[in-house]
Chains A and B, each alone.
Chain A
Amino acid sequence: MIRNDIESWSPVAKLFHWAMALLIFAQIALGLAAVSWRISPTKLNLFVWHKSTGMLILALLALRLLWRLSHRAPELPWEMPLWERAGAHLSHMLLYALMIALPVTGWVISSASNVPFKIFWTIPLPAITGPDKAVSDLFAAIHGWLVTLLALVLFAHIGAALRHHYVKRDTVLSRMLPWGTS
């Protein structure tokens, strides 16, 4: 019998996953530092780093989605119950949605607050909304709620991966590890 399911994620998928993981953790740290820093040149630079990283994440996500939609994902272990499959799909969908929604709401805040911005001090980012204090305040609140939701989903994502590895002892985590095969 020929098995047409693939067992492991390809090196490209792994690169996308771990690069994004690294960027997201750096991005959360930069964002928290930027908002809590007292007003100073450091604060302004932290915001440039945070906004630039956000745009990098958005660009990387576009490539990742193109790649993901044109390639087959390895199948989940056959013994996984339905609710776990549903949970996995829901959390992955949420992660993708948040990886779009967080940069986009950040872009709105930046545009509405009328602060000029160049990605990594070089590429000017066009505004997607006009200057408006109310819009910028509203989207700053939304951005904050979304990052809280992201923290919860990441907690579930990492928790589930560890459970697959250490409790259920299947290959769901190891097949995504950079050095893992299946």
Chain B
Amino acid sequence: MTSDIDNLFDIIIVGAGAVGCAVARELSRYNLKIAVLEKESDVAAGTSGRNSAVVHAGFNNKPGSLMAKLCVEGNEGFESICRELDVPYKKTGKLIVAFEESDFAGIDRLIENGRKNGVKGLEFVDAGVVKRLEPHVGGIGAMLSPNTAITNPFIYTVALAENAAVNGAVFYFNTEVRGISRQDRLFRVRAGDTFFRGRYIVNSAGLYSDRISSMAGEKGYKVYPCRGEYFILDKRTSQYLNMPVYPVPRPGLGGLGVHLTPTVEGNILIGPSAEYIKTKCDYSSTKKVMDRLFKEARELLPPLSMRHIIRSYTGIRSKLVGPKTGGFGDFVIEESEAVPGLINLVGIESPGLTSSVPISRMVRDIIANREDITPKSSFISVRKGIVPFRELTIEQKEELIKEYPDYGEVVCRCEGITKKEVLDAINNPLGVATLSGIKYRARPMMGRCQGGYCLTRIVDILNNEKGLPPEEITLRGKESKLFTGKVK
């Protein structure tokens, strides 16, 4: 156990989701000592890593709301952040498709709403244009949003975190905050098996942000968990879909309706459903929703078949509006009046990913309004990710294999991931040592065989190259051990 004298920080960020990591990165531009406390074994373990991976344009949100403002701002800046941090990004555009005449009113409403929010380029397109843009999707017309994009939210969060870490932020995983008290002018945070002290707490704890706020002394928030289930489809389906396709939203829905989204890697996502649940950690998929998702997806895109499904997953929205109210609330981004120094980021649901950098700038401004913060001259703004070998030309591949023969050993057959990429993921700058950490960083085990081919190879690599015995490998930390011991 370290004494809390050693753990003295200017800023303690609770939660290493997209928002927490964006805040860590933004504040790491300044001469501030930053700690990020995360209860799970990796970044983006909650809502940030479990969504549709869409960079929204901002036409859905209520004019005048923070959501609308920050989403539009976030959309405009997203591409440059991705370039700076080597994150996959693709400006696909998006269609909101009308299937019956009555949907046209909804489209008009969205275009008008978008105009009020300052979203550029929204237009109604007729069935002919829909057919040209998405030949496999039916519909009698649609709204086209040219600035909607897709990204990889896990890599995005990893990139923010790695860049923050390079610039001095310290990440503590498996470190759940259990209590917060004030001591002199500092917060004293009991987390994991130790204490941290800091001048500010940035509460970016997502689903648990109400609990963290309450621990710090500001009660009154209640976060309602609202689960969304998804399917991931085989890359073979990429031929059927070019951009996210959504139905025209029906009023009162707690989400955007079941939609289809291509991923930057070439899969299709189906989902999400929207269902208020009792506990914040129930990531179960359910038979009822699975059946419905697929049926609705096929209505949008008839060529889809059950055979295309390779995996399901769920995410949980942290909503400030309960099931009785429905719809969307607004982001809370403010310093608590009752507890000075506590900066609450509560109710960050969609479009939280898109808005994460603008949110982080608001946090910076809150701090800068209270004290002078000075930029670091040593700040490094760029970060390089793992080289996706599969996407290179033959000449580039040959060059790389000459330099690193491990690029010549394909570990994951479905996704074409090499041993070098797996090693790079194992040796990640944040020191995450779980199987899912490797999976989300380098993509082995994410293809159609779901690790049938590569799991045993990754286990060997961890054992031979990192000295991690198989019986100590976990899926995602804690008690998630992969194996129960040796046979003999």
A binds B: no
Residues of A within 8 A of B (CB): none
Q: Chain B: residues with CB nearer than 8 A to chain A?
A: none
